[in-house]
């Protein structure tokens, strides 16, 4: 699957808002408003999961090379995975929600 195919607009299944494709060279994999995602990957980008459950944002991690990442837990099967936050793009991730996931780090 090409990046152009992966980077498409969608309606968030959690909050119902319209989500635009990223404009920073990456591809959109979660809602910038509520930060929820869908469990479509087993490994990042492979689109091999048959689960398709909603992935709840449960924390934020910092990776020295990738920057801040949202930690997700699938509400259907419990699988956990991380995704980079979306910055410097149309519809960047809601930093207030990111900070609330960091549990008092941004107070």
Q: For residue 2, what pLDDT is reported?
A: 45
| pLDDT value of residue 5 | 56
Please give the pLDDT value at position 94.
Answer: 95
The DSSP-derived string for the chain is --HHHHS--EE-TTT--EEPPPSSSS---S-TTT--EE---SSTT----S---EEEEEEEEEETTTEEEEEEEETTT--EEEEEPP-SSSS---HHHHHHHTSSTT-
Q: What is the pLDDT of residues 25-56, one digit of tens each?
A: 787 889 999 999 999 887 777 778 889 999 99
- Residue pLDDT, tens place only, 7-25: 789 999 999 999 998 888 7
């Amino acid at each position: 699957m090409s990046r152009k195919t992966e980077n498409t607009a969608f309606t968030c299944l959690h909050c119902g808002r319209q989500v635009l494709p990223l404009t920073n060279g990456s591809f959109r994999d979660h809602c910038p408003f509520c930060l929820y995602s869908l469990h479509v990957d087993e490994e990042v980008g492979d689109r091999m999961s048959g689960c398709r459950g909603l992935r709840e944002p449960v924390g934020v991690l910092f990776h020295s090379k990738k920057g801040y990442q949202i930690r997700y837990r699938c509400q259907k099967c419990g699988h956990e995975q991380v995704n980079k936050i979306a910055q410097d793009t149309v519809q960047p991730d809601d930093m207030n929600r990111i900070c609330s996931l960091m549990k008092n780090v941004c107070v």
